[in-house]
């Protein structure tokens, strides 16, 4: 047990704190250092950004509903694809899982709060300015940057001041992520309650420990890449400018050295949520806990050595292509182990299918499909055909939306009763799940066919042979988008008039927040750490 | 009333889905293509798909059996087992073996795809914002050089005319190559990264400014194969197609001769004196082919992104400055060095056009000889 908890536990009596509720008013949220408040703010922020990014996605799908240019100009279309990606990755999915981490890690390891509560406040409050910069770039002269979320040089050199605002936004988001990660690592390593050894931690905590290291290692790399872009734009450097002795492809190497681990930064916490939800609704412990920890760590390590599989067509030596192909295929092994473990967890369980479990199973099914297409794409000769087509778009939306987003929904439905003390409407929750999974597949499954037939991504207009699947995809996208408003309604309804939730709402749940804390939780929890046998 | 509305909506939907049934709609797989390698890639992809189908059936067979049989609602009691070393080793080792089976054909195909040695024809493809330039560097037809850009009329794009058969996939000049000959394509770019992508030839190669990359194909069947730029390259990224025409050896030689004749005829007398009306008429065509995407047909540009020429200080200022920006471009903006792409006459023509169109009434011009003098 750590010294931090010792001093806190003894110097403040248990009773001193119990009458401390949350302070009232707006300043509560500005000044709060409480991990629950900060977790809630992260989750709400990410939902707002999810809607903003979603509107951009629907703009794209509306333009692509029919061939020809109907709604937006091509340069605006490019900004939509760019900021849809940036906002969904950095504004919606990542903050959502950081929100889960803030709210749940202290509860799951029996700690009173995060290790650095003020830094925690600061890491959240960096996000709104970054979001303002991102969205503000649309109002800069020349509009926002139409360069794709990957921001490849030297196209970035041709953009207006909107590009600079975006670069600063990325800097700020990176700072926020690094601070959040340091906080998470310190909390997990130092503030576990007595008896909570590393190999007894809930899987969700393990996944965040690994993710936090990935973030600390890669966010500075991204910051470096965009800073070089900035100096190339304004200060006469030539990192990515061949005319000055630089190399445009260097940018891609640096970006994807960040970018590939980033995929796992998003996916690994999602694995963590699912690893809590599936055992709870199978009423059976997670199968192969230790191998799950090792598999997750292997995925994290492998993620650093496969980056150039995003660049098979850039013109690297054939030996490089072979190496990246083999290394990429290798990732299928630990990923397979995880999928097998989840299925084995369900095997001979006692399964029930409340909304969190439905979303977790939706995750398992569709994420695995995304994994299969990933395997197809790992094959260099096939990837050369499919690179930068809609096949890749479909692949990463299976991993990011059906993977990460569905897992986040599973998490929200699972923990909402604990967080708010109120139950959501189970019938509406199931509606949300079925609408989401059906419309998701309507939107993205057909995009595999578009890619196989050769439709490039990031084009505002297309040949008429692609019309049919684009029509289907656009209809699905609008259905999917509208279904998410139902989610907002479900959460608000639960907050206003949901039934009171039980202390242990799910009978299969076995982590500390369910077994040791009342529902609703007091504002401060585990001021005296519990002891685990 | 409601039902009728739904019926109308469904009718619209159905007609939208089937209206293009005549084209190659609902293509579900990769193209088998026109080269042996594209057939190999197709087969490799199919092999992978079958392996995936088997894994899929095994994994989700187990999962859905659990979902069906091990439900709480049918009273199934949970076992509490949570590890089994044998099974865990097994499902780590077996995937490794499956991957090795997949890696073998993938490696073979990759080595074949990347073999660009001993070509019979070498063509350089240069990506420009937003068209392709081609130079036949080596082999039959050496010295041929042209640019290829989109010919789909704007009316079709903006829905004022019905869309043609090769909507967005048609260019003024085709890359003509002989059937059964190995063609090596060198790619490079003048401004930003583009990618030369023709699905039927199983070829996709990024074109990186300042660097030369290569790829190769050997078409087995005559025909016209269409592709597009595959790397986001700015505003008109979706509008710079690639059309490769594979013809018999005899037809190819005829085409080469015709091109050579055309090039000889096009080599104009550099000292010819043009008058303003002549030059302006030619300049309008040059403008439509090279400038209109950014500076727009009305010369107003796109505010904030691309400057207006109508009333521009450069176009209405000293003529030498205008020659300089057209010849050398304005890095790093999308304004390219057109000196590399356009002839002296074309540059003189577009200068005459821009200085004497819209609200610009300079009344002056330069001769091709002056452009030649300015190139140094």
| DSSP string for A206-235 | HHHHHHHHHHHHHHHHHHHHHHHHHHHHHS
Query: Is A335 a catalytic site residue?
Result: yes
Q: Do B195 and A388 touch (CB under 8 A)?
A: yes
Alpha-carbon gap, residue B354 to A205, rounded angstroms: 66
Region of A136 (left: φ > 0; alpha: ψ -120 to 50; beta: rest) is: alpha
Q: A338 CA to chain B: closest CA distance, Å?
A: 10
Q: Do B28 and A449 touch (CB under 8 A)?
A: yes
Nearest-CB residue to A456 (from B49, B91, B197): B197
**pLDDT one-digit tens code per residue, B137-188:** 999 999 999 999 999 998 999 989 999 999 999 999 999 999 999 999 999 9
Give the pLDDT confidence score for residue A11 in this predicted structure: 38
Residues in chain A, pLDDT under 70: 1-22
Nearest-CB residue to A158 (from B38, B157, B332): B332
Q: Do B167 and A464 touch (CB under 8 A)?
A: yes
Contacts of A142 in chain B (CB under 8 A): 304-305
Contacts of A73 in chain B (CB under 8 A): 302
Q: Do B206 and A285 touch (CB under 8 A)?
A: no
Give the pLDDT confidence score for residue A8 in this predicted structure: 38
Q: Do A154 and B166 touch (CB under 8 A)?
A: no
> How many other C-beta atoms can be found within 10 angstroms of the C-beta atom of residue B103?
17
Q: B81 CA to chain A: closest CA distance, Å?
A: 8
**pLDDT one-digit tens code per residue, B271-324:** 778 888 888 888 888 888 888 878 888 888 887 778 889 888 888 888 888 998
B5, two tokens:
């509305």
**pLDDT one-digit tens code per residue, A64-116:** 999 999 999 999 999 999 999 999 999 999 999 999 999 999 999 999 999 99
Nearest-CB residue to A350 (from B23, B24, B70): B70
Concatenate the DSSP letters of all residues of B82-142 into one string: ---HHHHHHHHHHHHHHHHHHHHHHHHHHHHHT---S-SEEEEEEEETTEEEEEEEESTTT
Given a contact cutoff of 8 angstroms between Cβ atoms, the answer to whether A276 and A101 are in contact is: no
CA-nearest residue of chain B to A377?
Answer: B45
Given a contact cutoff of 8 angstroms between Cβ atoms, the answer to whether B346 and B286 are in contact is: yes
Where do the domains of chain A lie, and which CATH numbers do they carry? 3-515 (1.20.210.10)
Q: Is B155 exposed, middle or buried (0-12, 13-18, 19+ CB in 10 A)?
A: exposed
Alpha-carbon gap, residue A477 to A459, rounded angstroms: 17
Region of A421 (left: φ > 0; alpha: ψ -120 to 50; beta: rest) is: left
- Specify the DSSP element, H or E, that contains A332: helix A332-346
Query: Is A352 a catalytic site residue?
Result: no
Q: B191 CA to chain A: closest CA distance, Å?
A: 8
Give the pLDDT confidence score for residue A6 in this predicted structure: 37
> In degrees rounded to 5, what are phi and psi of residue A15?
-75, -25
What is the maximum span of chain B, computed from C-alpha positions, in angstroms?
97
Q: What residue has token string 């965040």?
A: A208
Give the pLDDT confidence score for residue B16 in this predicted structure: 53
Residues in chain B, pLDDT under 50: 20-23
Three-class secondary structure assignment of A41-69: HHHHHHHHHHHHHHHHHHHHHHHCCCCCC
What is the distance, to the nearest Å, from the Cα of residue A292 to the centroid of all Cα atoms in its chain?
20
Bridge partners of residue B175, in order along the sequence: B244
Where do the domains of chain B lie, and which CATH numbers do they carry? 36-67+81-113 (no CATH), 121-266 (2.60.40.420), 276-374 (1.10.760.10)
Given a contact cutoff of 8 angstroms between Cβ atoms, the answer to whether B78 and A344 are in contact is: no
Query: Is A176 a catalytic site residue?
Result: yes
Query: Is A496 a catalytic site residue?
Result: no
Decide: helix, strand or coil at residue B13: helix
CA neighbours closer than 13 Å in the CB half-sphere of residue A351: 25
Give the pLDDT confidence score for residue A17 in this predicted structure: 46
CA neighbours closer than 13 Å in the CB half-sphere of residue A444: 24
Q: Do A472 and B17 touch (CB under 8 A)?
A: yes
């Amino acid at each position: 047990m750590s010294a931090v908890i010792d001093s806190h536990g003894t110097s403040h009596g248990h009773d001193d704190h119990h009458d401390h509720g949350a302070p009232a008013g707006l300043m509560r949220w500005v000044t709060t250092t409480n991990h629950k408040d900060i977790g809630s703010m992260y989750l709400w922020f990410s939902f707002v950004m999810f809607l903003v990014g979603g509107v951009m996605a629907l703009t794209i799908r509306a333009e692509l509903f029919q061939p020809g240019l109907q709604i937006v100009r091509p340069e605006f279309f490019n900004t939509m694809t760019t900021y849809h990606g940036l906002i969904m990755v950095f504004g919606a999915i990542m903050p959502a899982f950081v929100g889960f981490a803030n709210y749940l890690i202290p509860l799951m390891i029996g700690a009173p709060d995060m290790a650095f509560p003020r830094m925690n406040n600061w890491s959240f409050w960096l996000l709104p300015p970054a979001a303002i910069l991102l969205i503000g770039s649309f109002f800069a002269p020349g509009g926002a940057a139409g360069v794709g979320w990957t921001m490849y040089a030297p196209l970035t050199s041709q953009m207006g001041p909107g590009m600079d605002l975006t670069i600063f936004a990325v800097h700020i988001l990176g700072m926020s992520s690094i601070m959040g990660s340091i906080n998470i690592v310190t909390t997990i390593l130092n503030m576990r309650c007595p008896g909570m050894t590393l190999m007894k931690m809930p899987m969700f905590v393990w996944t965040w420990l690994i993710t936090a290291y990935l973030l600390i290692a890669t966010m500075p790399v991204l910051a470096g890449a965009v800073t070089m872009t900035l100096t190339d734009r304004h200060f006469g450097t030539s990192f990515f400018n061949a005319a000055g002795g630089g190399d445009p492809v260097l940018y891609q190497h640096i970006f994807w050295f960040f970018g590939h681990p980033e995929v796992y930064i998003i996916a690994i916490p999602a694995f963590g949520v699912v690893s809590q939800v599936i055992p709870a609704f199978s009423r059976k412990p997670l199968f192969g806990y230790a191998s799950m920890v090792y598999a997750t760590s292997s995925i994290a390590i492998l993620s650093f050595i496969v980056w150039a599989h995003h660049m098979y067509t850039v013109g690297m030596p054939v030996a490089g292509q072979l190496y990246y192909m083999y290394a990429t295929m290798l990732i299928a092994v630990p990923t397979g182990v995880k999928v097998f473990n989840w299925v084995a967890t369900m095997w001979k369980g006692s399964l029930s299918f409340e909304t969190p479990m439905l979303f977790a199973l939706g995750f398992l099914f569709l994420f695995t499909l995304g994994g299969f297409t990933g395997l197809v794409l790992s094959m260099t000769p096939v990837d050369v055909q499919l690179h930068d087509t809609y096949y890749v778009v479909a692949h990463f939306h299976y991993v990011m939306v059906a993977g990460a987003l569905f897992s986040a929904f599973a998490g929200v439905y699972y923990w909402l009763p604990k967080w708010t003390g109120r139950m959501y409407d189970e019938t509406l929750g199931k509606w949300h799940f079925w609408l989401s999974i059906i419309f998701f597949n309507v939107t993205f499954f057909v995009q595999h066919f578009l890619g196989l037939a050769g439709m490039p991504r990031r084009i505002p207009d297309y040949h008429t042979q692609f019309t049919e699947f684009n029509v289907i995809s656009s209809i699905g996208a609008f259905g999917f988008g509208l279904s998410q408003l139902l989610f907002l309604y479900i959460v608000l309804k639960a907050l206003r008039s949901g039934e009171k939730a039980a202390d242990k709402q799910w009978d299969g749940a076995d982590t500390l927040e369910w077994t040791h804390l009342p529902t609703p939780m007091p504002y401060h929890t585990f001021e005296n750490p519990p002891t685990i046998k | 009333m409601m039902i009728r509305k739904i019926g109308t909506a469904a009718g619209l939907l159905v007609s939208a889905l089937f209206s293009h049934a005549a084209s190659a709609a609902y293509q579900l797989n990769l193209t088998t293509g026109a080269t042996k390698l594209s057939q190999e890639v197709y087969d490799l992809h199919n092999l992978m798909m079958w392996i995936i189908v088997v894994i899929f059936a095994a994994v989700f067979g187990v999962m859905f059996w659990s979902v069906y049989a091990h439900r709480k609602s049918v009273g199934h009691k949970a076992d509490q087992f949570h590890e089994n070393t044998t099974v865990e080793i097994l499902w780590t080792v077996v995937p490794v073996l499956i991957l090795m089976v997949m890696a073998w054909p993938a490696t073979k195909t990759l080595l074949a795809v990347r073999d660009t040695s001993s070509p019979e024809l070498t063509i350089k493809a240069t990506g420009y914002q937003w068209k392709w330039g081609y130079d036949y560097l080596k082999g039959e037809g050496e010295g041929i050089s042209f640019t290829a850009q989109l010919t789909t009329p704007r009316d079709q794009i903006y829905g004022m005319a019905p869309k043609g058969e090769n909507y967005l996939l048609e260019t003024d000049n085709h890359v003509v190559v002989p059937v059964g000959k190995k063609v090596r394509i060198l790619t490079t770019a003048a401004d930003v990264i583009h990618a030369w992508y023709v699905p039927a030839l199983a070829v996709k190669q990024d074109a990186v400014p300042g660097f030369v990359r290569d790829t190769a194909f050997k078409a087995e069947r005559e025909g016209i194969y269409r592709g597009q730029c595959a790397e986001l390259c700015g505003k008109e990224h979706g509008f710079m197609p690639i059309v490769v025409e594979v013809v018999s050896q005899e037809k190819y030689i005829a085409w080469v001769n015709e091109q050579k004749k055309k090039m000889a005829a096009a080599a104009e007398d550099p000292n010819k004196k043009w008058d303003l009306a002549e030059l302006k008429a030619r300049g309008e065509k040059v403008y439509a082919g090279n400038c209109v995407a950014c500076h727009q047909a009305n010369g107003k540009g796109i505010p904030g992104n691309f400057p207006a020429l109508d009333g521009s200080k450069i176009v209405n200022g000293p003529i030498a400055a205008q020659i300089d920006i057209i010849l050398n471009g304005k890095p790093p903006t999308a304004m390219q060095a057109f000196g590399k792409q356009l002839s002296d006459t074309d540059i003189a023509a577009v200068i005459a056009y821009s200085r004497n169109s819209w609200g610009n009434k300079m009344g002056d011009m330069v001769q091709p000889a002056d452009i030649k003098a300015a190139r140094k």
